[in-house]
Structure 1
Amino acid sequence: MNGLLDKKTSVDLVKLLVFVVVTSLATTVLVVTIGNLGFGSSRQYRAEFTDATGVNKGDDIRVAGVRVGTVDDVEIVDRTRALITFSVDEETSVNGGTNATIRYRNLVGQRYISLTQEVGDTRRLPPGSTIPVSRTKPALDLTVLFNGFKPLFQALSPEDVNQLSFELIQVFQGEGGTLEGLLAHTASVTSTLADRDEVIGELIDNLSLVLDHVADRDEQLTRLIRSFRTLVGGLKKDRNAILGSLEEVSALSVETASLIDGIREPFVKDIKELRAVAGSVDKNKAELDRALQVLPIKLNKIGRTAIYGSFFNFYLCEFQGRVNLPGNNQIPVKYQTGSDRCDLG
C-alpha cells in the first residue's frame, strides 16, 4: 500500500515539474515576443534633438519598422537640446549618413526613433558617437497641428464639429462605419465652408483694407510704440518713488478721514444754515436783483464823494421834518442850507 502511494506521489510530482517548466518557457517566450527583447551584443550611440517630447527610456529604435534597439537615457544638453542615448544590435549599421527621426508609435502618444540611411559617409561610427542635430528630426507637434485647424473649427457649427469628432473616434475604434462614410461627412463639412466663400472673401478684403491703413500709418504707429516704451521705462525707473508715494497717500487718507470725523457735526450744521440762506435769497431774489442794479450808481456817487482823499466829506444841503403840537397838529419844517457843495451831486 505504501509502495503504491509513493509511486502515485512521484508521478504527480513529475507532472507538476513538467507543468512548471512548460509554463515558465511559455512565459519567457511571451515576454521576449511582446518586448522584442534581444540577447545579442549591442552598440551604444547618442543623438541630439531640438525636441524630444514623449521619448522615454525603453522606447524602440527601429530601422524600416523593425526593432533593432532601445532608448537607454534622455537628458538635457545646454538647456536647449535633448540628448538621447540608445543601443542597437551589433549588425545594425550607424554611419555618417544615418538620420534619426522621432515618430509616433500609436495614438496614445508613445514614440519611437526611426533610423534612416541617406547619401553620406558610409563608414560605421564608433560606439559612443553622437548624431548631430543637423541629421535628426523631432516628432510632429500635434498641438501646433490642431491649432492650425482652429479657424476651420471656428467656422463650423458645434454640431458639425461634434459629429466629425464622433465619426473619427468611431473609425479609429473600429466600431463605426467605413472610412468612406467619414470622408463623405468631411466632404459635407467642406461644402458648408464653400457655401460661405463670399463671407470669407469679404472678411479677407476688409482685413486687407485694415492692414493697408495700418501700413500707411506705420510711422505714427512706430512713434506710438516708442513713446509707450519710454513711458513704461520711466515708470520702471520711478517705481520706488511711486510705491513710496502710495504709502504717503494712504497715510494722508487716514488723516483726512480723521479730520472729516472731527468736523462732521459743525459741517452738517453749516450745510443746514447755508440751505436756509439759499432759501432766503430765493425768496428775495427780486429785491436782490434791484439792489445789484442800483449798486453801481451808489458806488459811483460814493466814489465822487471820496475824491479829495482817504476820507468822506458830508454836507447838509436840506433839512426836512415835522413838529408835533398839542391837538395832533403838525408844523412842517423845511430848510435849505444853500451850500455850494450841494450842486456837485
Structure 2
Amino acid sequence: MLGRSIRIKLVAFVVVASVSVVYALVRFTDFGEYFGQEGYTVTAELTASGGIFSHAEVTYRGVNVGRVGELRLDGDGLEVDLHIEHDAPDIPRDLDAIVANRSAIGEQYVDLRPRTDSAPYLEEGTTIPQERTSIPLGVEDVITDLDKLARSIPHEDARTLVDESYLAFRGTGDDLERLMDTTQEFVAASSENLPHTVQLLRSGNTVLETQNEQAGNFKSFSRDLNLLSEQLVESDEDIRNLIDATTPAAQQFSEVVQEIGPGLSSLIANLLTVSNVQAPRLDGLEQVLVSYPILAVGADAVLTDDGKARLGFVLNLFDPPPCTRGYEGTERRAGTDDSPVEPNREAYCAEPPGSPIAVRGAQNAPFAGVPSLPSEDEVEANSDRSQESLEEERRRQAASANTPGLAGGSGSTNNSLAELLGLPG
C-alpha cells in the first residue's frame, strides 16, 4: 500500500505534468486553435526561404507575437503563413518582414519591423508584398564572395598593402584605442537614438540610389584619378626638385621684400593715388585701348614707302554744333602764323547745361566717374531753341574757313574691350 504522502506527491506530479503538457501544446503548436484562440493569419511573400521553417517565431519589436505556419511555393518565390496570436498588439500594415538569424549558427525567425505606428493594421488575409520582405545572405554566398575577393587581389599588391598598413599603423596604439572607445560611445548613442538611426539608414538608400545612377561618372573619375596618379609617379623627380627649390626661392623672396619694404609701401601708396585718378575714367581708358589698335592699323595702311598718304575723309561736322559761345574774345589768325601770342585765359564754353549744342569744358566733366547730367529744368529752359536755329548754327560754322572741325567716327563699331576681343556679354 502506498502511503498518504506518496499519493499526494503522485497527484501533484500528475497535475504539474498535465499543466506543462497543455502549456507546451498551446505555446509551441496550433493546439490552442481548437479552444477558440485563433488569432489571425497573414501571408508574407519571399524570394526564397532564407532558412525559415514552420513553427519558427514571429516577433514584433523584439517580442514573440506568433508562429510561422505553412510554406508554399509559388511562381515568383515562396509564400509563408504567419499566425499572429489573438493577444498580440495591433501591428501596423506599413512594415518590413525580415527573415533574420538569432545567432551565428542560424535559428531563423521572422521579425516584423514597422515603418509607422498608425493604422491601418494587420488583419486576417493581409499580404506582405515581396518588396517589403528580405532574407539573410546565405553562408555559401558569403564564403563564395570572400573567395572571389581573395582571388581578385594580386599577391604583390596585397603584400604592398600589408607593408604599407604596418607602416601606417605602427606606433598608433594609443590613438587606435581612443578611436575604439569613441566608436563604442558612438554605437551607444546610436542605440539610444535608434528610431532616428533607422530613419537615417532608410534615407541613406536615396543617396545610394543616386550614387548608383552616377556610377558612370564615378568610373570616369576613377580612371582620371588613375591617370593623374600615374602622371604624378612619372613626375616624381620633377616634383621633388620643385619642392627642393621652393625653400630657397621663398627665402630669396622674403629677403627682397625686406630690402624694398619701406620703398614698396610708398610705391603702393602712390599707385593708390594713380588708381583713384583713373577709376572715374575707366570708360575713357577702355575706349582708348579699343580705338588705338584700329588707329595704328589704319596709320600703317595710310603711310606708304613712296611718301604719299592714301586715305579718304567722310566728315560729319557740326552734328551737334560745337560750342562757340564764350570764345568770342579769342582773336583768330592764320594757321601759318606761328608767332608767340598770349592765350585767351577767359575763354570757356558758356553754353548752359541741357543745351543741344555740344557742351564742353571742365565744369561739365564727370565728377568721380558720375556724369553731370542736366536737370529737367535746365533741359526745359533750352527747349525753345528750334531746329532751324541749330541748322543755321551749323551752316555758319561750316562757312567759316578758319573754324576747325572734327572728323566723325573711326568706322569701328567696337565700344568696349569685350566687343573688341569677341567675349560674350
For normalisation by structure 1, the TM-score amounts to 0.38
Determine which structure has the larger strand proportion and give its number: 1
For normalisation by structure 2, the TM-score amounts to 0.32
